[in-house]
């Protein structure tokens, strides 16, 4: 009997790939490409029991935010209904789920980790 294998691929995109960000055209376009790549690849490898998904974080509290002014961070968080940045642990929890056997029938999806900014 042939062993049943499975695989999990989780790509990291950005809410910018869904909504676009002003003055970040190339970044937004590249993240939109990650989302489309995820959806296409998921359909290609589904019969091989490989699940391919993506996460699209909004503003996450990481060291990169230290390069921005408080006004820039405020501008971004004002668009988040929860009115805060996310944490790396919150993104990791979604990735952990998508990489686990619990997500064995989830493929071709883009999960937002956005505090309600993207709701589609």
Residues serving a catalytic function are 27
Q: What strands, in cross-sheet order, belong to the sheet with 110-113?
A: 7-12, 50-57, 110-113
Residue 25, helix vs strand vs coil: helix
């Amino acid at each position: 009997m042939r062993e049943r294998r499975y695989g999990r691929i989780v790509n990291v995109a950005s809410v910018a790939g869904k909504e676009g960000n002003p003055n970040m055209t190339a970044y937004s376009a590249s993240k939109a490409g990650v989302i489309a790549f995820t959806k296409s690849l998921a359909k290609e490898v589904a019969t091989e029991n490989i699940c391919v998904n993506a996460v699209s974080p909004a503003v996450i509290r990481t060291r990169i935010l230290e390069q921005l002014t408080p006004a820039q961070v405020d501008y971004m968080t004002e668009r988040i209904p929860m009115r805060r940045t996310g944490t790396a642990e919150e993104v990791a929890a979604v990735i952990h789920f998508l990489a686990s056997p619990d997500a064995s029938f989830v493929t071709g999806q883009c999960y937002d980790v956005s505090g309600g900014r993207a709701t589609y």
